[in-house]
Structure formats: C-alpha cells, structure tokens
C-alpha cells in the first residue's frame, strides 16, 4: 500500500464528512440559528450512534441505554455552569467530589485514612500518581530521576507520565500467562525506585497482575505500589461478589499505596471522570500544586487542570447514587455473562486462540491467518475492535452494549465469516497493513509516521 492509498483509507475512516456536511474553518460572520446547529449535531450523532448502540464497538461506551443517558444528561445540565476551581461559589461540587472519593474508596477496601481526588480520566489519574511518587522520592531521598517499574503490559499512560515528569520507565517482562513477572520486578528494584506498578486488569489482555506478590515485594523494599484498576475497578468487586475468581488487587492488599479507577468506564458515568486514591494522606499532598507568591493571589489545584467541568462531577456523582451496590451488581452480571458467551465461542472458530485468562476482555489471535486482516474484515461488517501488537492480536472489551439480545451471537457469526474472508484474501485491505507495518517498524519511524497522521487529522479542511 503506497502513501496515497493509505491516506485514502484514513480519509474514509477519520474524515468521512464530505460535501454533504458544512465545514467551518472560521467563525461564521453571523451566528447560525440554534435549531440549525442542533439539527446538524443530531444528524452527526445518529450516523455515529448506530455503531455503538448496536454493540459493535470495543469498550468506548459502557452503558448507553437511552434512559441512563437521559438521566446523566439531566444531571450534567444542572451542573453545566459550575467549576470546582471555585469551591466558595459551588461548595456542592466539593461535597460531590469528596463523596465520590469516599464511596469509591469504600468499594475498593479503603479505610478512614484513604484520600484522593476526582480527575478527568484514567490517564490523568496515572499522571498524578506518578507525579506524587516522583516528588516524594525527591523530597525524602533526594532522588532526582526516580524510576517506575512497569510490566510491559502496563498502560502506556505510565510512559507518558514518566516522559512528562522526568521519571525513568523501567519495563519488565510478563510470564507465559501474560501477567507481570514477580522475579523480574524484584531484580529491577534499586535505590532509585519510587514505585512499582501492576494492572487490574491490563488493557491488552484483561488479565490481573499478581498484585499481592508485587505489592508485598514493593513494601518489603520500602517503595510505593500503584494498582491500576482504571479498567476493572468498578467491575471486579462485583464479579467477586458474584462468585468469580478475582485476584486480590484493591486497597486491602498490604503494600498497595495508590489505586486508579475510572468512573466513566464500568462506573457508567459520562466521559470523563476518574478517581485516584491513596492509602496515605501524605502521599496525596505530593499531588497538589500550590503557588504562594503570585500577584493573582494564593493559587492551588489538587489535579492537573485549573478550571474543571462541574457538570461531569455532578453527573458522575448522580450516576453512582442512582445505581448503588444493587445496580452495579446487576449490571456486572450482565456484562460477565456476555463475556463468558464470547470466551466459549471464539476458540471454536478454526484457527483462533485466546490470549490471557480474562473475565471481560476477549483477546484473541491466530496462528493461521493475518489477525489484522480478520479485524479489517470485521470492520467491513460494522465492528470496531482494538488491534494489539507484539504479539499481533485483537481484543473486544465487553460492555453492556454487548449484553443486548443477539449481539454476542452476531459477533461470533461475523467472526467466522471474517476468518474465512481473511483466509481467502490475496492481499491486505484497509488498515490491516498499517498494523502489520507498525509492529515491525523502528520506534522512531513509527513516531514520525503517527506524528504526520495526527498533523493531518487535526487540520480542518
């Protein structure tokens, strides 16, 4: 595939709105009627809504039922003009945020000393935790370039945090079951180590690292341990209550000093909120930013942002109250039931095998077909999955959208068709060559290529 062909594929996928949709590269000289703007937004939403409403997307939309969306939207509207930066004006937001932290902490085994904050998403929660560990290592031990020990499967947001905040990322291997290698972690810890990280579960394969062993090792060596439960934190506690085997991962595990969990995933709040929790209030202090000598007055912020959308806090808080333990338990049962159907059905497709032992992330590969070509064939039938690399694979993060009637059956039927189609394909199609090429290109070349694509994507035309 040459560059022109590649850009044609990208144009179709990422910029499909052509002549039938107006383009705005400058402010209109006169404001467009609100009704007309809403009509345009409605048309765009209906076009894209068909993808996730039918359960054809991996993750992305975790609830999506119309009545749930209406409730969250109503709650958001009530808080849409508010801003947590001004707690004197909107003390209700301070109440909501502190209660979200308390409720989430209690769900995940926290104590009366558990503290935390509400963030914009899992990446910010991870960034803040790494910043806190960096600052603690600098203040307590004088370590100017602290190290974070990360299994290869840990989310890339940890690399981002290390890059932003001047930590050194030390990647360690995983074992044959795709969980973190405890012995490799032990060997990697040294006097510069500020934090060890484990996933509950990891994004690629949905497997939970041996958190108890990893956190115990970190505790014995006097370093912090972060349990990244962004993906599973609002699902695993209920899975355990339903009788599923769930490895220990939460704040009850000795040595776990912080934990991230996304309310906007299986917490079913609108995008984007997350919660970062600490077992020690002193560690949270290293997350804060305080400026004392600014002419504008004393400035302080508990998170990365200054102004933040109070409407999202309001909607997340309202969602947690409306669902309660009973609601989360019931929804977890539906998600896990759909995931079990897929886990039974995928290996029955000739040539496919599962990657990892997960409760709700169905990752699979093929020893006989180009798995990216299988994914591309599925996309031609309206499925939007996640491509994995090193080794090549595909995964589907199961949500309530997939628990709707007939969705898992349709996926397995389309998957069988896609495998047959990929077997017969004489040449790679669509985005499949991109995945294959990225997995073999030098990292510098990948970065340059993706940079060029991003330049193009965010240029209005």
Same domain membership, residue 102 and residue 216: yes
Residue 458 lies in a domain: no
Final residue of a domain: which of 294, 322, 350?
322
**262 and 133 fall within a common domain:** yes
* Structural domain includes residue 214: yes
In a domain, 423, yes or no: yes
Task: Give the integer Cα–Cα distance in Å for 104 and 132.
Answer: 20
* Tokens of residue 175, six digits: 């074992």
Helix and strand totals (H; E) in the chain: 15, 13
312 and 333, same domain (yes or no): no
Give SS3 for 109. coil
> Which CATH number goes with the domain that contains 268?
3.40.640.10
Please give the pLDDT value at position 427: 47
- From CA 185, how far away is CA 220, in angstroms rounded? 13
Q: 268, 297, 322: which is the final residue of a domain?
A: 322
pTM of the model: 0.92
Same domain assignment for residues 41 and 58: yes
pLDDT recorded at residue 444: 75
Same-domain pairing of 55 and 156: no
Residue ranges making up the domain that contains 428: 3-64+325-450
Shared domain for 87 and 57, answered yes or no, is no
Q: Are residues 332 and 316 in the same domain?
A: no
Burial-class residue 92 by CB neighbours within 10 Å (0-12, 13-18, 19+).
middle
Last residue of a domain, one of 274, 303, 322: 322
What local confidence, expressed as pLDDT, does residue 3 receive?
58
455 lies in some domain = no
Residues 365 and 423 in one domain: yes
In a domain, 237, yes or no: yes
CATH number, residue 430: 3.90.1150.10
One domain, residues 261 and 400: no
Residues 318 and 256 in one domain: yes
User: Which pLDDT does position 180 carry in this prediction?
Assistant: 97
Check whether residue 163 and residue 294 sit in a common domain.
yes
Residue 70 lies in a domain: no
Residues 203 and 144 in one domain: yes
Please give the pLDDT value at position 426: 46
Domain count of the fold of the chain: 2
Which regions of the chain are under pLDDT 70?
1-7, 423-441, 461
d(CA 211, CA 198): 6
């Amino acid at each position: 595939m040459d560059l022109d062909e590649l850009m044609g594929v990208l144009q179709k996928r990422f910029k499909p709105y052509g002549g039938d949709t107006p383009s705005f590269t400058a402010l209109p000289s006169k404001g467009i009627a609100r009704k007309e703007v809403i009509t345009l937004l409605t048309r765009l939403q209906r076009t894209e809504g068909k993808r996730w409403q039918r359960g054809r997307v991996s993750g992305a939309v975790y609830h999506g039922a119309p009545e749930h969306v209406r409730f969250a939207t109503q709650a958001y509207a009530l808080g849409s003009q508010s801003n947590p930066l001004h707690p004197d004006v909107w003390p209700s937001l301070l109440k909501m945020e502190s209660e979200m932290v308390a409720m989430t902490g209690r769900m995940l085994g926290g104590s009366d000393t558990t503290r935390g904050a509400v963030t914009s998403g899992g990446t910010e929660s991870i960034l803040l935790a790494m910043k806190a560990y960096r600052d603690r290592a600098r203040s307590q031990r004088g370590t100017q370039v602290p190290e974070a020990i990360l299994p290869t499967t840990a989310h890339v947001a940890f690399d981002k945090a290390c890059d932003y905040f001047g930590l050194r990322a030390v990647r360690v291997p995983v074992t044959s079951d795709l969980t973190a290698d405890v012995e490799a972690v032990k060997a990697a810890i040294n006097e510069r180590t500020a934090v060890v990280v484990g996933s509950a579960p990891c994004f690629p394969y949905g497997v939970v690292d041996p958190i108890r062993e990893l956190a115990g090792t970190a505790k014995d060596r006097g370093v912090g341990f972060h349990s990244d439960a962004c993906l599973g934190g609002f699902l695993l506690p209920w899975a355990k209550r339903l009788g599923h085997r769930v490895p220990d991962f939460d704040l009850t595990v000795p040595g776990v000093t912080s934990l991230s969990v996304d309310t906007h995933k299986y917490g079913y709040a609108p995008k984007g909120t997350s919660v970062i929790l600490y077992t020690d209030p002193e560690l949270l202090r290293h997350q804060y930013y305080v400026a004392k000598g600014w002419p504008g007055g004393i400035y302080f912020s508990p998170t990365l942002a200054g102004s933040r959308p109070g409407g999202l806090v309001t909607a997340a808080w309202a969602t947690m109250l409306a669902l309660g333990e009973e609601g989360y338990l019931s929804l977890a049962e539906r998600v896990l039931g759909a995931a079990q159907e897929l886990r039974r059905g995928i290996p029955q497709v000739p040539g496919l095998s599962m990657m990892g032992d997960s409760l709700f992330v169905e990752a699979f590969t093929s020893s006989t077909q180009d798995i990216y070509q299988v994914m591309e064939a599925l996309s031609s039938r309206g499925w939007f999955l996640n491509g994995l690399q090193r080794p090549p694979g595909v995964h589907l993060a199961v949500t309530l959208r997939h628990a709707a009637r007939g969705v898992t059956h349709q996926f397995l039927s389309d998957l069988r068709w896609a495998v047959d189609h990929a077997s017969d394909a004489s040449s790679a199609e669509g985005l499949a060559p991109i995945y294959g090429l990225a997995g073999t290109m030098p990292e510098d070349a990948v970065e340059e290529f993706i940079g060029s694509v991003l330049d193009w994507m965010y240029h209005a035309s």
